[in-house]
């Protein structure tokens, strides 16, 4: 197919899982018949994330200070050297071997952005679904696109397309914003079932704090795109109205 793949993994204090994610991602890309580079963007980690990623064979870029997921992904796309870029969260671990399922529809020209749809977590675990519901509704209202995995960080697209959408939204609003921006520009967004999983936050204080922060960034991303849509719309008023 002639494509090479850059896997971009943003990471903050993910020393426990980043090495297995790097190794599985490389194996998954190469098993699909593509040449691969894995680029880990260390977002100001205070643990051994960078060292563990490098020992697993990744090219590591360390940001001087913590800048957020959106900034880390923007830097990763800028530094990527290959035609297709896949985004993976650092805590996906062995499930990263399924990244080929996201690359294939891009390489075949069946989609412009492929987004992983992960298995549902066991009942009673994870959050209450509020952030996911807000994100899905916002994407539908602002782009007309209905998606079932609005918060998925596992996705793939051509590098040139992603460069055209950069810089990405800040923080945890980056996935929602990417989906809206791609759909608004007429790109084909395809959801793909994947067996990946990542660390879910529980229904404890730490979990609710994390989801509150996530909701803040999602609402912020939606608000920014609502404002831009209003500015782009033709003014329907007139003198004397």
Taking only the tens place, the pLDDT of each residue in 22-62 is: 999 999 999 999 999 999 999 999 999 999 999 999 999 99
- 3 state SS for 20-65: HHHHHHHHHHHHCCCEEEEEEEECCCCCCHHHHHHHCCCEEEECCC
Write the DSSP assignment of 60-114 as a string of letters.
Answer: EEE-SS---HHHHHHHHHHH--SSEEEE--TT-GGGGGGGHHHHHHHHTTS-SEE
Mean per-residue pLDDT, 213-225: 91
pTM: 0.89
What was the pLDDT predicted at 241? 37
Rounded to whole angstroms, the Cα distance separating 97 from 75 reads 23
Rounded to whole angstroms, the Cα distance separating 161 from 150 reads 19
Check if the beta carbon of residue 91 is closer than 8 Å to that of residue 14: yes
Domain boundaries, the chain: 4-231
Taking only the tens place, the pLDDT of each residue in 120-158 is: 765 555 556 899 999 999 999 999 999 999 999 999 999
What does the longest C-alpha to C-alpha distance in the chain come to? 69
Taking only the tens place, the pLDDT of each residue in 188-198 is: 999 999 989 87
CATH 3.20.20.80 describes domain 4-231: no
């Amino acid at each position: 197919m002639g494509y090479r793949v850059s896997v971009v993994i943003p990471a903050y204090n993910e020393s426990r899982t980043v090495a297995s994610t790097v190794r599985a991602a490389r194996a998954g890309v190469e098993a699909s018949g593509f040449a691969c580079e894995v680029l880990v963007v260390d977002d100001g980690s205070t643990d051994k994330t960078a060292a563990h990623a490098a020992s697993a064979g990744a090219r590591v870029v360390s940001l001087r200070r913590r800048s957020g997921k959106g900034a880390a992904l923007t830097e990763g796309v800028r530094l990527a050297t290959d035609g297709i870029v896949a985004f993976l969260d650092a805590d996906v671990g062995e499930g990263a071997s399924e990244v080929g399922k996201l690359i294939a529809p891009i390489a075949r020209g069946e989609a412009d952005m492929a987004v992983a749809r992960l298995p549902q977590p066991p009942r009673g675990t994870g959050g209450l679904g509020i952030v996911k519901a807000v994100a899905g509704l916002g994407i539908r209202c602002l782009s007309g696109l209905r998606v079932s995995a609005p918060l998925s960080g596992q996705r793939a697209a051509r590098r040139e397309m992603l460069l055209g959408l950069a810089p990405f939204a800040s923080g945890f609003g980056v996935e929602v914003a990417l989906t809206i921006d791609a759909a608004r520009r007429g790109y084909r967004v395809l959801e793909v079932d994947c067996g990946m999983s990542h660390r879910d936050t529980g229904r404890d204080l730490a979990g609710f704090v994390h989801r509150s922060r996530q909701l803040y960034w999602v609402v912020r991303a939606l608000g920014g795109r609502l404002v831009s849509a209003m500015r782009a719309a033709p003014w329907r008023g007139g003198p004397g109205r």
